[in-house]
Every structure is written in structure tokens, then in C-alpha cells.
């Protein structure tokens, strides 16, 4: 018997002897429910600890310097914990910040930090952080709500397959549809508006061996600039620097078995990507996340180490030049980070 026929016979026999598929599917869903319950319990425990004010290992307990008038300062920071619960990492829970959000939807603060944008059950909302008053902005057109809201809340962008649709919210202007270069079926993922409210950073173009591109769409001209490959991504959202000059992102080093995940930055108008910090091996099960501090001085990142049996990981901070990597908060966080800007009055 040749090797080929022996292989065919072995494959057939293995297929016949395999677990019944429906039984396997049932077992899979049971396991998923059990683990989800565990994650929700873990997330709830984290939230309870936060609410009780039991913060562990805050890396900098010194009082913040007095705010300089007319500047942007760092407010509260939130991260999703397992079970997709939003938990405060810095500061206290704000009334307008929801407990859960759609995982592919927006999670960002308005430019003035007074509203938070998010999606729940495929509706994009703006919520006043102080009063909790919630305003629906738009319904997501697809079953997965891939969306981003501008800093002033006037436009929402939806990733729809290989396209980005920009919906004006405060005018009767038409919806603008941008086609992203690349294979038609390669989806746009993780869109984020730049602070100029003109450009959108997103992942897409193709999902081949080297993963998709981090690209920037200029909504005025319709041009798309490819900035960097992100590797075998899990769809982590990029983060704009407050001045719009740089984009931070998570890169999964492509083509390696235990690919390290790196925190990277790249100029938003093109240029050489720069590694800020190597996060370590990650993230076959979970996501990493990155956020830029509103004052522009720090990057925050969270990732799940495969060495950990738990889902989620601590939050770290690092300066954009790669120095000062520090543990901010132990805990189980994953996938999303949002950092509130606080504007002080001018003298």
C-alpha cells in the first residue's frame, strides 16, 4: 500500500471513530457556558474590589500636580474585564459609563470628556458621564457592530465588509461610502477616528499570512494610506495620540509559533513603525488593548499572558518612547481600554 492510500485509509478511519459532531457541539456550548459564568464571576469580583476602593499596586500614589489651566488632563480610565464588564482602572465609576458594551463597537470619550460613546445590542449611544443620560446615535447596520464615533459625536463610521460608511448624525448630509483597497471579502475592523475628526485608523485590506494592515482613511479625500502590518491580529483597536501625529497599535509578530505581541507606534501620515515595548507571548485566547493618555505622555496596555490560566491581565503604562514600563493595576482586563480627557478652564 502506498503512503497516500495508507493516509487516506487512516484519515477515513479516524473520521469514523471521531466524537459525534452534535454531541461535541453540545459539549462545547456547555463548556462555554461554564467558563463564561466563571469569567463573569471573576469580572464581578474585580468590579466589586474596584468599587470597594481596594486598588492594588497603583504604580504612582503621589498626588497629581495641580492642573494647568487650558490644558487636557487624564481622567478616569476604564477597561473591559472578562465577561465584557467595564471596570474602572483609574478613578471611580462614572454614572454615564455602562456596565457592558458590544465588544466590536465603539468605546471612546468625546473630545471634551463629557460623554462616552459605546454600542449596546447594536445601537450606538452617547452617554453623559455625569448624569448618565443616554442618547441613541445610530443603529448598527450589520449584526456585528464595527463602529467609531467622532470626538464631537457628529459622525459615526461603520465598518461594513471591505468598506467604511460614514453617517452624519447632526446634519442631513448623505452617507458617504468608502471602499477600502484589498480583497472584497477582507473586513474592515477596529475603526477609530483621529482627533482631527477627519481621518479614521482601521485594520483591514487583507487577512493573509502576515495579517491585515493598519491603515488610515482620509474622509475628505477618500484616500487610504497603509501604515503597517499588524500580524495575526485579534482585531485590537489602534489608539491615536492626542495630537493626531502618531498611532499606537498592537502587532502580533507574524509567522512565529509563539508570536510575541508588541506595542508599536507609527506616524499617522506614514513612516517607520517603532516598537515601544514587547508585551510577551500572547494572545491565542484573548485580546490585547492599548490606549493613549489624553495628555499624550503615556500609553496604557493590557494583555493576557498564555502562561496565565486566567483570562485577562494587568494594565501597564509606558512612555511613548518605550521608557518607564510599569504595572498600573493588577487584575483581569482584556480587549478594551478608554481614557477620559479632562479639560480645565482657562484663566
Pick from 59, 121, 297, 326: which binds another protein (CB under 8 A)?
121
By CB under 8 A, the count of residues binding another protein is: 54
Examine residue 328 and tell whether it contacts another protein (CB under 8 A): no
Query: Number of H helices and number of E strands within the chain?
Result: 2, 23
SS3 for 23?
Answer: helix
Q: From 149-157, 215-223, 251-259, 318-326, give the range in contact with another protein by CB under 8 A.
A: 251-259
Closest CA to 123 of 93, 94, 143, 109: 143
Q: From 150-158, 232-240, 242-250, 269-277, give the range in contact with another protein by CB under 8 A.
A: 232-240
SS3 for 139?
Answer: strand
* CA–CA distance, 36 with 177 (Å, rounded to integer): 37
Q: Based on CB atoms, which residue is closest to another protein, 237 or 317?
A: 237
Pick from 257, 321, 323, 345: which binds another protein (CB under 8 A)?
257
Q: How far is CA 146 from the centre of its chain?
A: 11
Examine residue 28 and tell whether it contacts another protein (CB under 8 A): yes
Q: Based on CB atoms, which residue is closest to another protein, 181 or 322?
A: 181
Grid cell of 323 as nine digits? 521608557
Q: Based on CB atoms, which residue is closest to another protein, 207 or 213?
A: 207
* CA–CA distance, 3 with 13 (Å, rounded to integer): 15
- With contact defined as beta carbons under 8 Å apart, do 301 and 292 qualify? no
Q: Based on CB atoms, which residue is closest to another protein, 248 or 282?
A: 282
* CA–CA distance, 205 with 189 (Å, rounded to integer): 10
Residues 291-320 that bind another protein (CB under 8 A): 306-307, 309
Minimum CB separation from another protein for residue 118, in Å? 16
Examine residue 37 and tell whether it contacts another protein (CB under 8 A): no
Minimum CB separation from another protein for residue 47, in Å? 20
Grid cell of 279 as nine digits? 508585551
CA triple 192-194-200, angle to 5 deg: 55
* CA–CA distance, 69 with 72 (Å, rounded to integer): 9
Q: From 22-30, 42-50, 86-94, 214-222, give the range in contact with another protein by CB under 8 A.
A: 22-30
* CA–CA distance, 25 with 339 (Å, rounded to integer): 39
Grid cell of 80 as nine digits? 473591559
Examine residue 256 and tell whether it contacts another protein (CB under 8 A): yes
Minimum CB separation from another protein for residue 284, in Å? 6
* CA–CA distance, 200 with 202 (Å, rounded to integer): 6
Contacts with another protein by CB under 8 A lie at: 1-4, 6-7, 9-11, 13-15, 17-19, 21-22, 24-25, 27-29, 31-32, 35, 103-104, 121-122, 139, 143-144, 183, 185-187, 189, 206-209, 232, 234-235, 254-258, 284-285, 306-307, 309
Amino acid at each position: 500500500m502506498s503512503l497516500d492510500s495508507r493516509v487516506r485509509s487512516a484519515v477515513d478511519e479516524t473520521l469514523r471513530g471521531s466524537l459525534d459532531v452534535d454531541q461535541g457541539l453540545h459539549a462545547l456550548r456547555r463548556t462555554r457556558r461554564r467558563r463564561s459564568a466563571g469569567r463573569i464571576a471573576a469580572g464581578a469580583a474585580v468590579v466589586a474590589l474596584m468599587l470597594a476602593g481596594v486598588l492594588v499596586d497603583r504604580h504612582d500614589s503621589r498626588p497629581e500636580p495641580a492642573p494647568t489651566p487650558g490644558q487636557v488632563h487624564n481622567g478616569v480610565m476604564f477597561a473591559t474585564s472578562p465577561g465584557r464588564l467595564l471596570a474602572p482602572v483609574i478613578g471611580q465609576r462614572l454614572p454615564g459609563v455602562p456596565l457592558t458594551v458590544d465588544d466590536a463597537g465603539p468605546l471612546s470619550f468625546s473630545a471634551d470628556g463629557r460623554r462616552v460613546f459605546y454600542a449596546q445590542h447594536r445601537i450606538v449611544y452617547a452617554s453623559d458621564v455625569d448624569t448618565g443620560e443616554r442618547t441613541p446615535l445610530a443603529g448598527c447596520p450589520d449584526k456585528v457592530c464595527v463602529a467609531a464615533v467622532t470626538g464631537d459625536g457628529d459622525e459615526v463610521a461603520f465598518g461594513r465588509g471591505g468598506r467604511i460608511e460614514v453617517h452624519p448624525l447632526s446634519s442631513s448630509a448623505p452617507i458617504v461610502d468608502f471602499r477600502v483597497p484589498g480583497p472584497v471579502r477582507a473586513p474592515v475592523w477596529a475603526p477609530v477616528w483621529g482627533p482631527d475628526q477627519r481621518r479614521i485608523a482601521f485594520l483591514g485590506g487583507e487577512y493573509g499570512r502576515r495579517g491585515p494592515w493598519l491603515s488610515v482613511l482620509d474622509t475628505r479625500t477618500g484616500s487610504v494610506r497603509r501604515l503597517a502590518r499588524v500580524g495575526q491580529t485579534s482585531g485590537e483597536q489602534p489608539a491615536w495620540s492626542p495630537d493626531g501625529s502618531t498611532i499606537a497599535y498592537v502587532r502580533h509578530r507574524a509567522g512565529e509559533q509563539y508570536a510575541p505581541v508588541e506595542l508599536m507606534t507609527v506616524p499617522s501620515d506614514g513612516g517607520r513603525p517603532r516598537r515601544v515595548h514587547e508585551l510577551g507571548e500572547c494572545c491565542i485566547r484573548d485580546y490585547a488593548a492599548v490606549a493613549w493618555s489624553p495628555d499624550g505622555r503615556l500609553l496604557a496596555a493590557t494583555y493576557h499572558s498564555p502562561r496565565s490560566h486566567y483570562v485577562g491581565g494587568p494594565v501597564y503604562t509606558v512612555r511613548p518612547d518605550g521608557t518607564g514600563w510599569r504595572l498600573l493595576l493588577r487584575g483581569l482586563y482584556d480587549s478594551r481600554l478608554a481614557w477620559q480627557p479632562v479639560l480645565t478652564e482657562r484663566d
